[in-house]
Amino acid sequence: MAKRITHYLLPCFVGFLYLFLYLPIIVLILFSFNKNAFTYQWTGFTFEWYHQLLKSSEIWSALHNSLLVASISVIFSISMGAIFVFFGTKVRQLLLLFYGSLTIPEIVLAVGMLSFFVVTQVPLGITALIAGHTLLGLGYVIPIIYIRFNELDTELIEASLDLGATQIQTFFKIVLPWLMPALFAASLLVFIISFDDFVISFFCTSAASQTLPIYIFSMIRAGEMPIVSALSAVLLFVSSLLVLLFSALQIKRIGFGR
């Protein structure tokens, strides 16, 4: 009897949950084609909002800012993180330093950074954002790369050093290729986190150089629905592609064995 309940109840529950997760998104995409701007009733199919999306210079500049900040944060955090993992983790305690940024609510990080920037009179904007996002990035990059790095046979490194290669040569010819999958996964992760980040951007940008999430937030607050739905639909599409890419790579990696 209990078996029958769990046999049918559980899948049903899981099914409902998946529906719960997807329903809002699907509705959002559908309604981005709605002619009606003020209420949620369906009045007709239109591409109008997508046209306005393409014409809006503010969205393009916000997109530009988001992409710029995300790319540079990725470059900074990956390079600093990879170098640290290879060279710095001989001193194990240093690793612990980096677990802090993920265990604190992001708002505390954000106000801390804001205070820091005000005290040092750093101008808020894209560079400040890059600093903050790189910090977040480090918190993800270092554990990911470290785990992958640990799987590398230390004897390979010792052998390379014994055979006369310098630290730097060893790094580029042996360690880096091994770390590649982890580096790639970490870059994708940091890019998405930086691109989607809201809290830190909200505090450290003060409306002068907006990123996309900040722009979306101010549009929602202003009640400008239709363009935001069109924008959301586009972003959803892009992130689905990215996730597909990511999953495909994961499967490929597992498929090839280690």
Cα–Cα nearest to 214, from 191, 232, 198, 231: 198
Question: What are the angstrom distances between the C-alpha of 130 and each of 126, 191, 205?
Answer: 6, 11, 11
User: 157-176 mask for another protein (x: CB under 8 A)?
Assistant: ----x-----x---------
User: 115-134 mask for another protein (x: CB under 8 A)?
Assistant: xx-xxxxxx-xxxx-xxx-x
User: Residue 199: CB partners within 8 Å, gap ≥ 6?
Assistant: 106, 107, 109, 110
Q: Which residues pair with 34 in a beta bridge?
A: 45
- In the region spanning residues 41 to 60, those forming contacts with another protein, defined by CB under 8 A, are 41, 57-58
* Cα(98)–Cα(254) distance, integer angstroms: 28
Quote the least distance from Cβ 231 to another protein, whole Å. 8
Select 72 or 181, whichever has its Cβ closest to another protein: 72
* Residue 142 makes contact with another protein by CB under 8 A: yes
* Cα(16)–Cα(252) distance, integer angstroms: 31
Among 68, 152, 165, 235, which residue sits at the site for another protein (rule: CB under 8 A)?
235
Quote the least distance from Cβ 180 to another protein, whole Å. 19
* Residue 150 makes contact with another protein by CB under 8 A: no
* Residue 14 makes contact with another protein by CB under 8 A: yes
Q: Which stretch binds another protein (CB under 8 A): 43-51, 110-118, 146-154, 173-181?
A: 110-118
Among 140, 149, 191, 203, which residue sits at the site for another protein (rule: CB under 8 A)?
203
Quote the least distance from Cβ 37 to another protein, whole Å. 8
* Residue 223 makes contact with another protein by CB under 8 A: yes
Residues touching another protein, count (CB under 8 A): 103
* Residue 68 makes contact with another protein by CB under 8 A: no
* Cα(222)–Cα(25) distance, integer angstroms: 21
* Cα(7)–Cα(245) distance, integer angstroms: 34
Question: What are the angstrom distances between the C-alpha of 83 and each of 10, 76, 175, 179?
Answer: 47, 11, 10, 11
Q: Other C-beta atoms within 10 Å of 52: how many? A: 14
Quote the least distance from Cβ 185 to another protein, whole Å. 13
Among 68, 152, 192, 249, which residue sits at the site for another protein (rule: CB under 8 A)?
192
Among 4, 20, 92, 164, which residue sits at the site for another protein (rule: CB under 8 A)?
20
- Dihedral sign for Cα atoms in the order 13, 17, 23, 24: positive
Quote the least distance from Cβ 77 to another protein, whole Å. 9
Q: Using the structure block, give the residue that is written with the tokens 């993800």.
A: 140
